[in-house]
Amino acid sequence: MPELSYGQYSLVFNMLSFAVASMFGAFAFFVMSQKLIGAKYRASMVVSSLVVLIAGYHYWRIMGSWEAAYTLVDGNYVSSGKPFNDAYRYVDWLLTVPLLLVELILVLGLGKGKTGPMLTKLVIAAVLMIALGYPGEISTDTGTRHLWGTLSSIPFVYILFVLWTQLGEATANSTDKVKTLFANTRWVLLMTWGFYPIAYLIGTFGGAESASAAVGVQVAYSIADVTAKALYGVMIFAIAYEKSSADGSLPTT
């Protein structure tokens, strides 16, 4: 681990804490939000709540690992000798990315025949994307990082392409308000997912041992996760709420 200034160390620490608070806050919201929408949209909130609960657990662990990996010496943070565990993020993604895909497909309401096959393809692509990214993430060699990063981008682009197209089709037969929400969701999806390769690339700036690269990766992944999981779930909630409102299924008791 590279030596960090007090400000650099604290920035990461507070971003991780921000992620913990956001994820657990979002968990409580998604659990309770199930009573604010129509019964048939409840399943997507159930899945949302799992995503942020699992992510909250991992961020709690990442915070602990970050704290243990550093010691304060003369106003700077130096490696304590304990390694920082990068794997938490990848284990998290292995569980949460397939769930995020389920959440999205559920709210699209594709119909019986299409949901299963589409989900199978997307989940396989997601597992490939995460598994191919990991060897690069733990490497301190820039070339290795670029190689695995590029391989991981292939399933990544495939997933985004499929989702973008599907979200476009879903808007076709909806009310105007739902249409706007779907259009926004599509952009949020593109922007939040697009953040991950940027975060990955930050890890190669100034050499893998540079302090600003180490800080940049943690901050960028935290922002990407909070947006893609918590904020994204809130947008799915908004869609479910508007759909419930439009079809008269809002709970009255």
Residues of this chain that bind a second copy (CB under 8 A): 6, 10, 13-14, 17-18, 20-22, 24-25, 27-29, 31-36, 39, 42-43, 46, 49-50, 53-54, 57-58, 61, 72, 81-83, 85, 87-88, 91-92, 94-95, 250-253
Task: Please give the angle made by the CA atoms of 162, 233 and 220, to the nearest 5 degrees.
Answer: 80
Task: Please give the angle made by the CA atoms of 212, 127 and 166, to the nearest 5 degrees.
Answer: 100
Distances in Å between the Cα of 70 and the Cα atoms of 29, 61, 219 are 34, 15, 17
Cα 251 from Cα 60, distance rounded (Å): 35
143 C-beta neighbours (distance < 10 Å), count: 10
Cα 236 from Cα 75, distance rounded (Å): 44
| Residue with Cβ nearer a second copy (160 or 208) | 208
Smallest distance, a second copy to C-beta of residue 158, A: 25
Smallest distance, a second copy to C-beta of residue 133, A: 15
| Residue with Cβ nearer a second copy (127 or 201) | 127
Cα 223 from Cα 184, distance rounded (Å): 18
Smallest distance, a second copy to C-beta of residue 197, A: 23
| Residue with Cβ nearer a second copy (17 or 171) | 17
The residues pairing with 76 across neighbouring beta strands, listed in sequence order, are 5, 73
Smallest distance, a second copy to C-beta of residue 9, A: 10
The residues pairing with 71 across neighbouring beta strands, listed in sequence order, are 78
| Residue with Cβ nearer a second copy (10 or 175) | 10
| Residue with Cβ nearer a second copy (53 or 122) | 53
